[in-house]
Chains A and B, each alone.
Chain A
Amino acid sequence: MRHTLRERLMLAAALVLTTVYLFPLYWMYITTLKSGSAIFASPPAFWPTDPQWQIYGHVWHSRNMGRYILNSLVIASGAVAIVSVLGVGCAYVLARYRNIWVDAGLFLVLMLQVLPASLMITPIFVGFSQVGLLHYPRLAVIIAIAAKGMPFFIVLVRATFMNVPRELEEAALVDGDSRSGAFFRIALPLARKGILVSGMLIFMQAFGEFVYSRSMIQRVELQPASVGLYSFMAPNANEWNSIMAYAAIYMTPLLAVFVLLQRGIVSGLTSGALK
């Protein structure tokens, strides 16, 4: 009996803390539903009395969000494509061998993972401009994001491959399969869940990326939603209900995907980040 009371107290405390933690999110959604004058009311309303649903459609059209979101999708998909095509094999080999070269490779990957984007953008920008890549700004951003995300992806997927028993591949080799055949037919299908979750994480990061896009994409029609939000905030910072509506439209799909994949994401993150 004493035990259940303690458990109930812990649950209550956890609920309170979770609520406090999630308040900024709640505040974003609640602000979108307030009218232009209600957002400046004092005291502020914590529950919408007169919800203004039409703001979502209005912001979507007036800010031309379809184009921004499309650009974000193009950039994120491109980055995920490069990262998965190049990264999966690398993660696989780094998981299968244990020697000095693998250690050196892993060390290199881990060190390249930590370079801050806002500090790397200067040499990348100058280098890209010299080889002419800035004429294709979205491609340039895709490549830069892929390079930034790949180490993280390799570390996560490597942890997945470590859990695929090596014996299964050896059995396939004994049965006359080739080395590449064993990889494509045995190891890859068994690791697909981990690869999918890691790919989603890269996608989410790329979908929210800002500093590369802000620095390399000058033409408004090619900019992603993050840059669109930035340019919306800068000049007229009093339309907070519209800005919050933009933010809500931008991130709600990500939130939905996160809730769907929550289990896999949490276990993928924890196995990768400390291993």
Chain B
Amino acid sequence: MKGRWSSIVDGKGFDIALVALPLTFLLALSGVPLIYNVLMSLQQVDLFSLGTFWRPYVGFKNYSELFAQQETWPILANTAIFVAASIVGQFLIGFGLALMFSTNFPGASWLRGLFLVSWVMPGLVVGAIWSWILSGDFGVLNYLLRESGLINGNIFWRSDPNYSLLGVIIANIWLGISFNMILLSVGLSAIPADLYEAAELDGANAWQRFWTITLPMMRSSIGAVIALGIILTLQQFDLFAAITSGGPNDSSNVAQYWAWELSFRQYDFAKGATISVIMIVFVMVAAFVYVRSTRHEIRG
């Protein structure tokens, strides 16, 4: 007994204890629910069987029922559109800003820091602000678009099924620009300056330098940023809750919001778990790419 205790104070036991405790906590609260989620998707779960451990197994009935529902495919399509459009917008704007701030004009680092404020804002606050900006009759976005002649009538961003998803995408792009920009800035600053100087001496113009030096050197950072962007976009929930609640008529609904709705609005926990399982598989694939693309740095 004394030996074990002294090992914990002064030896390998100390290190093992330091790791084992948090990993047990993490496994109990993330790993176990993950497996439990798969289990629940194969069971019949309703409000009555919620509190019991033993529930009837129904095999893949939840899955087949889910894909027989008429809203399933449109919602999955919305999810794909939401992710793709958000990533394209966030990445292009974020990369442009990162390139601009990397030229080191006076005040660059200070201004770049300001972009990170969205990072600390509660998601629901961001959703509330954008709800008001996107508001149909009195929203400032409609006013600005009208004044600049881009639109004639007001767009009802939150209640027009043609625009509701776009409204959330705009808010999500705004939210995601900062992390794209800051991570890409890190990648840019790691490129040695003498590469550019050498290319300039050889007569390469700015565009050629971008294509032949910046893009190839940034390949692993770009991969990591896009994978991380997909993961974070699939986690976005608050904006949907605040701006459209997935409506009208599921036109702006996405899988991660629908899973919650199924469980906590319709109390169909089995369906909620089923859609969660499907989406978590996608997240895991993106995460695998992300972890792979940063692996050499992890070990460093």
Residues of A near any B CB (own CB < 8 A): 7-8, 10-11, 13-15, 17-18, 21-22, 24-25, 27-28, 31, 39-40, 42-44, 82, 86-87, 89-90, 92-94, 96-98, 103, 105-127, 129-130, 143-144, 146-148, 150-151, 154, 178-181, 183, 204, 207-211, 214-215, 225-226, 229-230, 233, 237, 240, 243-244, 246-247, 250-251, 254-255, 257-258, 262-263, 265-266, 269-270, 273-275
Contacts and interface: CB of A to CB of B under 8 A. Distances in A.
Nearest to A41: B138
A225 to B, nearest CB: 8
Interface stretch (B161-169, B208-216, B256-264): B256-264
Interface stretch (B61-69, B70-78, B129-137, B194-202): B129-137
B280 A274 contact: no
Given A11-B106, A14-B105, A269-B182, A127 B280 contact: no
Contacts, number: 304
A179 B36 contact: no
Interface in B96-129: 97, 100-101, 103, 105-108, 111, 113-117, 119-126, 128-129
Given A208-B122, A274-B221, A115 B129 contact: no
A31 B128 CA distance: 12
Nearest to A183: B14
B22 A90 contact: yes
A215 B260 contact: yes
Interface of B: 8-11, 14-15, 17-19, 21-23, 25-27, 29-34, 36-37, 40, 45, 50-53, 97, 100-101, 103, 105-108, 111, 113-117, 119-126, 128-133, 135, 137-138, 140, 143, 147, 174, 177, 179, 182-183, 185-187, 221, 224, 228, 231, 234-235, 237-238, 241-242, 256-257, 259-260, 263-264, 269, 272-273, 275-276, 279-280, 283-284, 286-288, 290-291, 294, 297-300
Nearest to B7: A179
A266 to B, nearest CB: 6
Given A105-B23, A247-B128, A126 B45 contact: yes
Nearest to B277: A119
B122 A254 contact: yes
Task: Give the interface SS of chain A, mostly helix, strand, loop or mixed.
Answer: helix
Contacts of A269: 116, 119, 179, 182
B120 A89 contact: no
A93 B19 contact: yes
Contacts of B17: 89
Given A10-B100, A112-B30, A118-B237, A130 B51 contact: yes
Given A25-B129, A120-B276, A269-B182, A258 B29 contact: no
Contacts of B34: 115, 120, 123
Given A14-B105, A44-B138, A119-B279, A21 B14 contact: no
B115 A18 contact: yes
B116 A262 contact: yes
B113 A207 contact: no
Contacts of B257: 118
Contacts of A125: 263-264, 269
Contacts of B37: 119-120, 122-123
Given A97-B15, A110-B291, A274-B294, A255 B120 contact: yes
Given A14-B101, A25-B129, A129-B51, A240 B135 contact: yes
A138 B58 CA distance: 34
A183 B80 CA distance: 47
A1 B114 CA distance: 29
A227 B221 CA distance: 36
B103 to A, nearest CB: 6
A146 B25 CA distance: 9
Nearest to B256: A118
